[in-house]
Amino acid sequence: MEQLFINVLNNAITVSALIIAIIVVRALGKKMPKWITCMLWIIVAVKLAVPIKLESALSLVPTGEPIPPNIVMESNPQISSGIGSVDEIVNPVIIQSFTSDEAVSINPLQIFFHIGAIAWLVGMIVMLTYALTTYMLIRKRVSASVKIDSRVYECDDISDSFILGTISPKVYIPSALSAEAREYILKHEFAHLSRRDHVWKPLGFLILSVYWFNPLCWIAYILLCKDIEYACDEKVTKNIGEGEKADYCRILLENSMPRRMIAACPVAFGGTNVKDRIKNVVNYKKPAFWITLASVMTCAVVGVCFATSKGSKVTSEEQTVELEQAKEGQQVQGVELKNSVNHAEVSGAASSTDVSDQKSALKENTDPEIADLIKKYYEACASGDIETLRSISKGYSENQENMMKGYAKYIEKNDPNKIYTLPGADEGSYLVYVYNLFKLNDYDKPIPQLETFYIGTDEQGKLYIDGESNDSKISNCIINADSKPEVIELRNKVAAEYSGMLKADENLSSILADMRKKVAFEVPGTTYGRIVTPEGVLRTRKSPSVDSEVVGYLAPDEEVEILGEVDGWYKVKLEEGECYIDSTYVELFK
């Protein structure tokens, strides 16, 4: 429920910019046809009701997920609003108030979101209960009505005309109405029916019941109710003579009934902002074609710019400060999954004092061909589809393929929802970092991991995953990329999420360890080991000596393939090539 609440919060935050934009357009567009104004509120309804995040380069909304989905699992929780000044103010407060204490098993942020989710659910129930109670009371009041037409009923117990019902709507009018008043009121109510307002208004209240905690959503609903009436008045006014406007306004004024509370139903004749409605009727003129066209184009612009969002940024302003510290030689922690087939998880941190000053920066992927290749890879991993793996990659050994088939028995699905790229060693090649959430068959929460891929282009111009390259140029490219501050920061973020999950659930570590051992024993003739450092990471070196050059880092719990042993050092195979690690910190599987 907490995850659902976070999704609702993100939607409520991002839709606020859209609501404000519509309020501004509504205030400035006095000549805009009111039916087009109602269309703007439909954009709000669709964004709030449909859980699909659309991204656009033209969007003025910096991010669709200001609150990270896994924030409750992070040891260093932060938001990423896309607005640096906001993050600078909010994140220090969040870190100070909600950072987990390692000595305490309960995460304060989990408690906060758990209580918030309960409050949200209670508020939603109250709103829906109010709507249902209101509907039942009105139904009881009109139960003694007399049918005078196919969908029109007269009632002695009501003082205002309205439509009741969504699937089979009926018009109810007071029995004491004069013939003249009845004529205009029925025109108005049937205009509502033709516009389906008896559907839109309850639907708007239903959406408001979900987002009741956002004041802007209340304002949007109130303005929607006003605009529904304005649009209906315009529809009636358009079909009556100029001389009848005065009679219509008089009937509207005589039958106006003040309402103090927001209602989900019914759609009433005189219940909303009668003074402004009369002004609108008196001043109504059929809009020129260019005004209608400009209004439609305004709707499209508002939708594109405010109903979509830009892609999420890799780093926040506070993270940028950390990267600057890294450039000055201070320690920055991070982590990386070295083996893209064995699904090793992140659980430790790597430190880097050798920060590359390459001009290329880590960017979120925008290439659909890379995204499609990564998607196929992860689908193949989850299903154990070796044929697909071979069709999209080169160089994976038989043992690696067997490991993938072994893990497929335990993995329900993969969700590679964030892909970041760097230029590769050659033109047409890429170094790709994938933030993947994998779901185990017997564990209900997705587990984060960061995996690295080297992608090349074959002679036919088709992209492929290079599973085993001995090219020193590629190895050096990976080593240089690993020292880039934005890559280190990305590792650190995923490491914090994974570490938070392990702390929150003591059983997860044993579940993963058991899975690794079972899979390792299914691969004949191969020895695998798990990194077991007391804290921090394990350095990998070019030769079996503490004086040898450091090649990279391995995180605690990461597993590696053991190729041999030399003087207390294990020779292992990583993406950077073959290197050595201290055998003291390795637990062998077989």
- In this predicted structure, the answer to whether residue 424 has a pLDDT above a threshold of 50 is yes
According to the model, what pLDDT value does residue 106 have? 57
pLDDT, tens digit (0-9, with 9 covering 90-100), for 531-566: 877 655 678 888 888 888 877 777 777 778 788 888
pLDDT, tens digit (0-9, with 9 covering 90-100), for 300-311: 999 899 888 875
- Helix (H) or strand (E) holding 237, with range, is helix 215-238
- In this predicted structure, the answer to whether residue 433 has a pLDDT above a threshold of 80 is yes
How far does CA 153 lie from the centroid of its chain?
A: 47
400 and 518 in a single domain? The answer is: yes
Where does a domain end: 306, 335, 366?
A: 306
Q: Does the residue 215 lie in any domain?
A: yes
According to the model, what pLDDT value does residue 563 have? 82
Q: Which residues make Cβ contacts (< 8 Å) with residue 365, sequence separation at least 6? A: 371, 419, 420, 421, 432
Two tokens, residue 256: 């106006």
For helices 34-49 and 2-28, angle between their N-to-C axes, nearest 10 degrees: 170
222 and 346 in a single domain? The answer is: no
Residue predicted with more confidence, 313 or 519: 519
Is 163:189 a contact under the CB 8 Å cutoff?
A: yes
According to the model, what pLDDT value does residue 78 have? 78
The proportion of the chain whose per-residue pLDDT surpasses 90, expressed as a percent, equals 17
Residue 551 CA to residue 569 CA, distance in Å, equals: 15
- In this predicted structure, the answer to whether residue 251 has a pLDDT above a threshold of 70 is yes
The secondary structure of 248-291 as a DSSP string is: HHHHHHHT-----S--SS-EESS-S-HHHHHHHHHT--PPPHHH
Q: Is the peptide bond before 169 cis (omega within 30 degrees of 0)?
A: no
Is 479:576 a contact under the CB 8 Å cutoff?
A: yes
- In this predicted structure, the answer to whether residue 575 has a pLDDT above a threshold of 80 is no
- In this predicted structure, the answer to whether residue 335 has a pLDDT above a threshold of 60 is no
Residue 461 belongs to a domain with what CATH number?
3.10.450.100
Segment 265-294 shows an average pLDDT of 75
Question: Which pLDDT band holds residue 34 (cuts at 50, 70, 90)?
Answer: confident
Helix (H, G, I), strand (E, B) or coil at 457: strand
401 and 531 in a single domain? The answer is: yes
516 and 483 in a single domain? The answer is: yes
pLDDT, tens digit (0-9, with 9 covering 90-100), for 138-147: 889 888 889 8
**Range with lowest mean pLDDT among 185-194, 271-280, 505-514:** 271-280
pLDDT, tens digit (0-9, with 9 covering 90-100), for 129-163: 999 998 898 889 888 889 888 889 999 888 888 88
Q: Does the residue 372 lie in any domain?
A: yes
- Look up the domain containing 145 and give its range: 2-306
Q: Does the residue 544 lie in any domain?
A: yes
Task: Give the DSSP letter of residue 528.
Answer: E
Structurally, the chain folds into a number of domains equal to: 2
Residue 477 CA to residue 197 CA, distance in Å, equals: 61
32-to-217, 236, 417, 529 alpha-carbon distances in Å: 22, 17, 41, 69
End-to-end CA distance of the chain: 41
Where does a domain end: 287, 306, 325?
A: 306
The secondary structure of 471-493 as a DSSP string is: -HHHHHHHHHHHTSHHHHHHHHH
According to the model, what pLDDT value does residue 583 have? 86
Is 82:63 a contact under the CB 8 Å cutoff?
A: yes
386 and 437 in a single domain? The answer is: yes
Quick count: other Cβ atoms within 10 Å of Cβ 112? 16
Residue where the block lists tokens 């009505």: 145
279 and 412 in a single domain? The answer is: no
Segment 234-247 shows an average pLDDT of 82
Identity at 342, one-letter amino acid code: N
Q: Does the residue 155 lie in any domain?
A: yes
